[in-house]
Amino acid sequence: RSKWKMFKRTVQFGLLGGIGYSAYVLWDARNPPFQAPFDPEKKTIVILGSGWASTSLLKSIDTDLYNVVVVSPRNYFLFTPLLPSCTVGTIDVRSIVEPTRFITRHKSREVKVYEADCTEVDPFNKTVTISDNSEIKGQVNSSKVPYDYLVIGVGATNQTFGIKGVQEHALFLKEVWDAQKIRTRLMDCIETAGFPNQSPEEIDRLLHMVVVGGGPTGVEYAAELHDFLVEDLTTWYPELAGKLKITLIEALPNVLPAFSKQLIDYTEANFKEQNISIHTKTMVKEVHDREITVQQADGSLAQMPYGLLVWATGNTSRPVVRNLMSKFPQTQTVGRGLLVDDWLKMQGSNDIYVLGDAAASKYAPTAQVASQQGKYLARLFSKLALQDELETEVYALSDIDEKARKLRRLEKVRRNIKPFHYSHQGSLAYIGSDKAIADLPWGSGNVASGGVATYVFWRSVYLSNLFSIRNRALVATDWIKKNVLGRDISRE
Ligand code: FAD
Ligand code: NAI
């Protein structure tokens, strides 16, 4: 009996503690502390971008040691892994963004956040030019910001390989507005297909959704579109839903080349079951406003009419990155990004660091790599600050023994600045019908799994990886809402 009482009391205390802690976390989130102002004695780090790499750095950086300035054309972080779910309304875009100021306002020192594009880096005078691209124009739209250290986390832009018509007619899937545009276009195609007296050929064209690129972005988008079709469109557009076709075009012999063979086969079989037609060994050669020209496996050319065209053929470097490369012709010789050393320092520079998709490194352009690099760089900056402090002290000391002792410590700190090490946690992708695939590292090998259980795992991983409690609550609510009420089919 007394044991039962003890157990009950422990549970009660545990619950109370949990509620108290959650209340404190929520209160703390809404009530940021007083922040110290910029310190002219400290070095200034300018961080470009508010994506995976920059936000991870921002979360971990010690602002007692540096002044920090963030420059990004969007004033929020976007959780890209759930972006395909926003194209059909499974998740609301607001649920997967986190305002950058929610992070910076909790730092011990004030962090300046400028919503602007960095248009040019001047590595010789150590300044960046920033430009306000918002629709509201102030009196000043361009400015120069000086830095001691510059961190380039501007990500990458969409690769089109210069194929004619892609920029004009295709939609991409990288940013919040891309997902919104896709959703609007999709609903437009369906509503227009239902317009009176539309010819059968035109209905078929409007309801043909083509995805180019069989990497994870293309596959996940096709999967979300399929779910929307079977779970919602069949109910609300019974006369049209049966005519909607999804086609995935991939230049290589199979989709998802980075996944293991059995998961590729599993995905392709699952897509077949879902009536998503996959055209492998097929290259898009030209894009027109209503059709694309493709080169098929046998080399012949064919026309493929479409209503919606989503282009997901990977990354290429942004103009600001290419401009910086051109200033280092001897060391920056690779077009796909800025070359860095093992400490993520840009080749040819002593004070510029490059993270995530903006870098040309041995790692894949993924959120996992970018966020680990951001965390690593925050630790590296702390060590650099300690190194600077010791160097100043050594310089000022006249006592030989004391100087030698400090020099030994300085040497130890320098030795302790280890190169970046990436720890791969595995790859996941959603493939439709409540199924996901996972390639997970296991010992020296790999474990591959696919199916509904993997989908539950996929959901729990993404839910726990979201940046804040707020995001987790919103995404969980969206998932429940979708299951109970279905997706919203109104046009954005
Ligand atoms: P980004 O996150 O793209 O951030 C770049 C930042 O720079 C943005 O804030 C942007 O506004 C800003 N910026 C752009 N131009 C400028 C400029 N001129 N000046 C200043 N700032 C600028 N990876 C995974 O590991 N797992 C996944 O499940 C996964 N899913 C994905 C799903 C989709 C739909 C997409 C598109 C990508 C996905 N990725 C995933 C890849 C992952 O999102 C990227 O590798 C990651 O975003 C790279 O981080 P980053 O910080 O380098 O760039
Ligand atoms: P990707 O580079 O992984 O895939 C692009 C695909 O498009 C390639 O398979 C390529 O062969 C194909 N392609 C190129 N040109 C073509 C053409 N003209 N016609 C037909 N096919 C063509 O690009 P993606 O999917 O955008 O991914 C970018 C990065 O983001 C990758 O590193 C990826 O791993 C990561 N990512 C990860 C996700 C996950 O882990 N779930 C989800 C989305 C992206």
Q: How would you write the pLDDT of the chain (492 residues) with one tens digit per residue?
A: 788 899 999 999 999 999 998 888 888 888 888 899 999 999 999 999 999 999 999 999 999 999 999 999 999 999 999 999 999 999 999 999 999 999 999 999 999 999 999 999 999 999 999 999 888 888 889 999 999 999 999 999 999 999 999 999 999 999 999 999 999 999 999 999 999 999 999 999 999 999 999 999 999 999 999 999 999 999 999 999 999 999 999 999 999 999 999 999 999 999 999 999 999 999 999 999 999 999 999 999 999 999 999 999 999 999 999 999 999 999 999 989 999 999 999 999 999 999 999 999 999 999 999 999 999 999 999 999 999 999 999 989 888 999 999 999 999 999 989 999 999 999 999 999 999 999 999 888 889 999 999 999 999 999 999 988 899 999 999 999 999 999 999 987
Q: How many beta carbons lie within 10 A of that of residue 464, not counting itself?
A: 8
Residue 265 alpha carbon to ligand 2 centre in Å? 17
Residue 163 alpha carbon to ligand 2 centre in Å? 16
Helix, strand, coil % over all residues of the chain, rounded to 5 = 40, 25, 35
Closest CA to 206 of 65, 281, 311, 307: 307
Complete edge-to-edge strand list for the sheet that includes strand 149-152: 111-115, 67-72, 44-48, 149-152, 352-354
Which ligand ends up closest to the CA of 85? 1
Reported ipTM exceeds the 0.95 cut: yes
Decide: 220 in ligand 2 pocket, CB within 6 A.
Answer: yes
Amino acid in position 21: Y
Atom of ligand 1 nearest to the CA of 81: 30
> What per-residue confidence (pLDDT) applies to 85?
97
Decide: 51 in ligand 2 pocket, CB within 6 A.
Answer: no
What sign has the CA pseudo-torsion 461, 209, 91, 96?
positive
Q: Which residues contact 176 (CB under 8 A, 6 or more apart)?
A: 74, 78, 83, 86, 93, 97
Closest Cα to atom 30, ligand 1: which residue? Answer: 81
Closest CA to 345 of 114, 142, 177, 151: 151
Q: How many beta carbons lie within 10 A of that of residue 54, not counting itself?
A: 29
Residue 253 alpha carbon to ligand 2 centre in Å? 14
Backbone angles phi, psi at 445, to 5 degrees: -115, -145
Which ligand ends up closest to the CA of 285? 2
User: What is the three-class DSSP state of 234?
Assistant: helix
Residue 193 alpha carbon to ligand 1 centre in Å? 34
Do β-strands 283-287 and 352-354 pair in parallel, antiparallel, or remain unpaired?
unpaired
Q: How many beta carbons lie within 10 A of that of residue 167, not counting itself?
A: 13
Decide: 71 in ligand 1 pocket, CB within 6 A.
Answer: yes
Closest CA to 157 of 405, 440, 365: 365
Residue 369 alpha carbon to ligand 1 centre in Å? 11
Which ligand ends up closest to the CA of 173? 1
pTM equals: 0.94
> What per-residue confidence (pLDDT) applies to 82?
98
> What per-residue confidence (pLDDT) applies to 23?
86
C-alpha distances in angstroms, 120 versus 126, 152, 261, 453? 11, 12, 43, 48
Decide: 173 in ligand 1 pocket, CB within 6 A.
Answer: yes
Residue 215 alpha carbon to ligand 2 centre in Å? 3
